Structure formats: C-alpha cells, structure tokens
Amino acid sequence: MTDARADAIPPASPLDQDFSRPGRKPGRRSGWRLVRGAWRLLVGIKDFLVLAAMLLFFGLIFAALNARPGTKAITDGALLLKLDGPIVEQPEAIAPLAMLSGRSVPHEYRLRDLVRAIDAAKDDGRVKLLVLDLDAFGGAYPATLQEVGDAIQRFRKGGKPVLAYATAYTDGAYRLAANASEIWVNPLGGTLFTGPGGNQLYYKGLIDKLGVTTHVYRVGKFKSFVEPYIRSDQSPDARAASQALYGTLFAQWREAVAKARPKAQIDTFLTQPDRAVLAANGSIADANLKAGLVDKLGDKLAFGKRVAEIAGAEANKPAGSFRTISYASWVRANPLPTKGDAIGVLTIAGNIVDGEAGPGTAAGETVSKALLDGLAKKNLKALVVRVDSPGGSVLASEQIRQAILEAKRQKLPVIVSMGGLAASGGYWVSTPADLIFAEPGTITGSIGIFGIIPTFENTLAKIGVTTDGVKTTPLTGQPDVLGGTTPMLDTILQAGIENGYRQFLTRVAEARHMTPEKVDTIAQGRVWDGGTARQIGLVDRFGTLSDAIAEAARRAKLDPAKVYPEYLEKKPGFAAMLAEGFDSDDDSQQGGDVFAIAAAERRAVAARALGDVARLARGGSVQARCLECGALGPVGTASDERLLDLLIARLGL
C-alpha cells in the first residue's frame, strides 16, 4: 500500500521523473529523456537568440553613435550634395534595421534642409565650392526644383563655383545642373530630355477579363483618378486638361534652363535630338558639349581631380578623392534657429489617409494631434500650413481642416504655403487660410471627389459560385462585394458624393470670396499650375515657405527677423533615429547611362502604379485625390519601391 500510494503522487515536473526505479518501462524512460533533451535545446536556442538580439541592439547603438556625422568637426572642403534620391517636403522614416536587409536604403532629401544647407554654405569660408552629384537623382516637383535652383544661384552669386556631375541627365537633374558654373557629363553618357507626361496604366481590360464590376461615384468631368478603372484610355476632357497643365510646366522648365544657361542650344535636344546625336556619330555627350549643354566630358575620376584642384586633395586617398564636407554633417552643424517668437509650421506631406502614420504620410489623426498639441503646449504667435500632397481621404482632410480652424478660433493668423503639390485633399486643407502662397510651378486645384467599390459577382459566376440570402431591408448586406450593389445603394452613394462636392465648393467659395457657381467653373477636378491658379483666384501670392513665415509674422505684428519656425511634426522614434545614424554620403548607389536611367524610371512608374492601387484599396473612404500629379514629381516613394520588390519576390521574377 505504501509503495502504491507513493507511485500515485506525481513528481514536481515530468522532466524530473526517475526512470531508474523498478517497474518503469525502458521505452517510457527513453521517451522522457528525449522530451527533456528537446526542452533543454529549446531553452538554449531561446537564450542564444536573446543574447544575439542584445548584442545586435547595443552594437547598432554603438555604430550609430560613432557613425553620426555631426560628431566630426567641419573642415575646409567641398560641400558634397550627393542627391541619390528624391527631394521631398517630409522624408519617410527609415525602417528599423533596414540597413541590415542587404538592399541600399533609398535616400529622401528634405527640401528645407537642402535649401538651408546651401544658403549657410554661401558665406562660410570653410566651403570652397558646391558639388552636385546627380548620378542617381530621384526627381522632385517643378516648384521644388525651382527653389533649390534659386538657392544654387544665390551660392554662385556669393563668388563660389558650383560643379555638377552625372553619367546621364534627365529633365529634373538638368534643371538643377543648369545653375552650376561647370556641368560635367560622362563621355559614355549624355542628356535625355522627355518633358512632363507619359503613359498611365488603364486596368479596365483586366477588370473585364476578371469579371470585376467597378462601381464609381464621382463629381467632376476632369476628376480622372477613376478613369483607369472604368476606361481603357484617357478621356478627351482629361487629355485636354493634362495637355494644358503639362504644356505650361514644360514651358517653365525651358524658361528656367534658358535663363540659367542662355548660350545652351537646348531646342534641338527637345525637338530633334536624333539629328544632333547622329551628327556627333552617335555620341550623345559630344553632341551635348557641342551644343553648350555641358562644359566638360569626363568620368568620375577626372571630375574628382577637378574638384580637388579647388577644394584640395585628400591625403593618402585614391586618385580623384577631394576634401569633402558631408551633407549630413553640414545640416547638423547648421540647425534651424530657435530664438525669438515661435511661428508654428504644420507640415501636410504625402497622401492624406485616415488614422495614424509616420512621416511622409499625412494621417488625419497624427497631423491634427500635432497641431492641437502645439496650440496647447507651444506659445505660437501664428500658424503656417505647409502643404505638399496629392490629397486622399476626404474624412482625414476634414479632420485636419477642423484642427486648423481651431488655430483661427484662437485668433492666430493662418497662412498656407503650397510646395510642389497641393491638389484635391491638399487644397481642401488649405481653405481655412487667410492667405495662400504658391510657386508658378506648384500643382494645385483638382477640386472634386470620388469613391470606388469593386464587386465580384461576375467573377464568382465564372466559376459557378452564386449568392443568395434573406434581406430585411432594401439595404441589407449592402454594399455586397460578392453579390453586387443595388440601384438604391448606387443612388445613395452618388448622392453622398455630390453632397461632398457641394461642401468642397462651399468651403472654397467662402475661403476665396467667390460664389459656389464660380468655383464650379474652375473645379470639376481640374488640375492647375500655380501661375494659372493665381490668375483664377485659387492662390494669392507667389512665394516660398520663408515668405509665408514672414507674412505670418507681420500679421501677428512681429518683426519677421525675430521669429523662428516651430515645426509641429511627430518626432521620429528611437529605432528610426538609430537607422538614420547609418546614413552617409557613400557611393552605395550609382547612376548609369541613358539606358539604365530609362529602365530605372520605368521601374519607378510601375512601383507608383502598384502603390496607387494599394492606396485605393486601403483607402476605404471617399477620396479627393489627383492622378495627373504623379507624373510630375518623384516617380516613386520608398514604400512603393518596397511594395514592388515584395511583388517581384512573390512572383519569383
């Protein structure tokens, strides 16, 4: 009995059972040993992973702190602007540990930092010249290019040289390079000017083959964002509007290049580039040199030696090296001013979406909270709203607009500064302004809204699947993406879109002191350049963000020279700041000849199209978004590129 009772009491742990006692079967004994060994192996793996993660974490901190450019003293040399990415209003946050992924992290350059860096270098004796490395330039909107070009011109007027280099120049890169005192191009490269525009993707043929029914609810005959889903080509109205917009912006490009390089024979390379190239026996670079588009032919080595003649050569470094002041170090050494009265600057950059998001996306919750917190915690004297967005969710746009109205209710002057792009939802959030600044090349307007719901009843029918069920009201189960929408729902949704459009017209009419009928004649979803927008009353003045801040100061009865911008933005998290510590001016990203440039741009167009589809699918609300705008600025965001990479990986291409 004693032995039986003892056997009935379970041990503290199955892994601690004694299999050596009599009565235990050998098979059971070996089984428990196997379990015990497996458990110890799992615990060991867990401990190893924790240790590895800790070592990696602290290693990253150490590397980031040591790599941080701002920790090094600035010495004499050339300020190197290696623009291997697009110029944007607000860069996306670098994904944590992205540097360990094996792929180079796309760089994005903040416009205000770039302009401040160039202006600070103009009067600093340590900066001997400005070097523009445009080999992998990612583009920018026309107004952005103009602002950076103006800063380069101011640098040159200070008496210092500017040298530019690229293997191949496209439109955007050349608009910047045209402001240089010396333009270099690789002998195997050259220029490739295409002008704004190009083909869009239209999905109706694919949608029809799949049997998808696209229900579109919109107002505005020029609101072309929905056209790829309901047409196989561009509508006549959209084509006419795009031709007018692109024609104006292209004329501005030609004027800016001609002003910067009056002796360059640019027209030949815009109208008959083949003749010029054939006359040079197929050498695009020689043709460029003969026409005065470039000043020197040479590879990166020769260009580096030329820069070293001015900036000085680096001791114990390979030929072609020169004394360099890195861009990241220079920006950190020249921070934004913080003395005086604070003028709040709210940045609305990227697609306007519902909820929360990081930098580079204008999330309604995030942006409105940043403003409301600033109004509560900062002693702001005025507000400047910096808009650089193609629009997006109407709901999020209205949420941001209401937050801006709160600033007005607190008696703060509100000035809007439009960057390269302020269209659709970007104009919606601009309506509370006392005054709107823009540039002639700003893309704005697109006053119109739409909604899209795809249904799959025909797709399912192709494989013999149908739907049925009990409905207690006319709207039971609607919108039914599997069985299709009903005429009643279509009527209700279209009425809602029309009501939203009337609200849009009313907001613009009240802000611009027009009648809704007058606004309707310049709305209908049509996109305008900044110059035309000023003529028709959508914009008040031409000017940069600095001009808008100065105007806000004057309206607050302050001296513009004694204020500073207080940027109301969500601060990057620790992981993002850690990743930024690895950012450097190395040669990890290189450009290529005209063939490589063309291939890269087509890839970026595909990435943007894929991103548009994803944004539309995730939108889930009424949209105020601009289609034409995407063809005029940076061809693809970092998130679009990641999405394309993921698709390619999934397809095994």
| Partners of residue 153 on adjacent β-strands | none
| Partners of residue 385 on adjacent β-strands | 346, 416
Task: For helices 638-651 and 594-619, give the axis angle rounded to 10 degrees.
Answer: 90
- What backbone phi and psi angles, to 5 degrees, belong to 531? -65, -45
Q: Is 223 a catalytic residue?
A: yes
d(CA 607, CA 15): 55
If residue 420 lies in a helix (H) or strand (E), which one and from where to where?
A: strand 414-423
Q: Which of 503, 450, 368, 505 is nearest to 625 (CA)?
A: 450
CA geometry: angle 345, 350, 352, nearest 5 deg: 95
Q: Environment class of residue 197 by beta-carbon count within 10 Å: exposed (0-12), middle (13-18) or buried (19+)?
A: middle
d(CA 268, CA 611): 36
Q: Which of 437, 415, 442 is nearest to 542 (CA)?
A: 437
End-to-end CA distance of the chain: 72
d(CA 227, CA 525): 12
In the structure encoding, which two tokens stand for residue 199, read together? 């083909």
CA dist 420 → 208, 259, 277 (Å): 36, 21, 33
Residue pair 164/267 in contact (Cβ under 8 Å)? The answer is no
| Number of residues that make up the chain | 653
Residue pair 391/424 in contact (Cβ under 8 Å)? The answer is yes
If residue 129 lies in a helix (H) or strand (E), which one and from where to where?
A: strand 127-133
| Partners of residue 415 on adjacent β-strands | 384, 435
Task: For helices 142-157 and 236-260, give the axis angle rounded to 10 degrees.
Answer: 10
The catalytic position among 223, 329, 389, 430 is: 223
SS3 letters for 6-48? HHHCCCCCHHHCCCCCCCCCHHHHHHHHHHHHHHHHHHHHHHH
In the structure encoding, which two tokens stand for residue 308, read together? 């070293």
CA geometry: angle 511, 514, 520, nearest 5 deg: 100
In the structure encoding, which two tokens stand for residue 207, read together? 């949608």
d(CA 310, CA 159): 13
CA dist 100 → 67, 94, 268 (Å): 15, 12, 46
CA dist 498 → 217, 220, 396, 474, 491 (Å): 9, 10, 18, 22, 11
The catalytic position among 368, 417, 424, 446 is: 424
> Could you tell me whether strands 362-363 and 352-353 are parallel, antiparallel, or unpaired per DSSP bridges?
parallel
Q: Which of 48, 17, 343, 303 is nearest to 186 (CA)?
A: 303
How many other CB atoms sit within 10 Å of the CB of residue 159? 7
Q: Which of 127, 157, 588 is nearest to 333 (CA)?
A: 127
Catalytic residues: 223, 424
